Structure 1
Amino acid sequence: MASVDVEMVKCACPDCVCVIPVAKAVERDGKAFCCDECASGHPDHAGCEHAGCTCHG
């Protein structure tokens, strides 16, 4: 039986509280983010839209 090792990381956006699986992370500049908004630095000041998270860049 194969085991699955799921590594969780915190989104690299400083204000973001999201913790995401490495496999689903959006990688940008060697850092892991929870979504494109966080990865691009919130150019339009939109949040990541994950429940309970208030980051807007």
Structure 2
Amino acid sequence: MSVTIEQVKCACGDCVCVVSVEKGVKRNGRIYCGESCAEHHTSGAGCEHAGCTCHG
């Protein structure tokens, strides 16, 4: 039996977003919802998804 994962929680610890494995931003073996999270919010910007207040 095999299981296919299609969506995961963004790898950013403060982020509440769920992202498609196919469309997520991949960095260092982890999947993020967008560039801000993938870059660990170095610019101070959040992920900008509705309802999420992450800023790293």
Normalising by structure 1, report the TM-score: 0.88
* Superposed CA offset, 1:18-57 (max 9, x none): 0011000100000000000000000011000000000001
Aligned positions, number: 53
Which structure shows the bigger proportion of residues in helix conformation? 1
- Point out 4+ residue stretches in structure 1 off by more than 4 angstroms: none
Bigger-Rg structure (1/2): 1
- Across the aligned residues of Structure 1 and Structure 2, the Cα RMSD in angstroms comes to 1.2
Normalising by structure 2, report the TM-score: 0.89
Gaps of 5+ in 1: none
| Percent of paired sites with the same residue | 60
Q: Provide the secondary structure at the position in 2 that maps to 1:37.
A: helix
Distance across 2 between alignment mates of 1:6 and 1:42: 26
Residues 1:46 and 2:45 aligned together: yes
Gaps of 5+ in 2: none
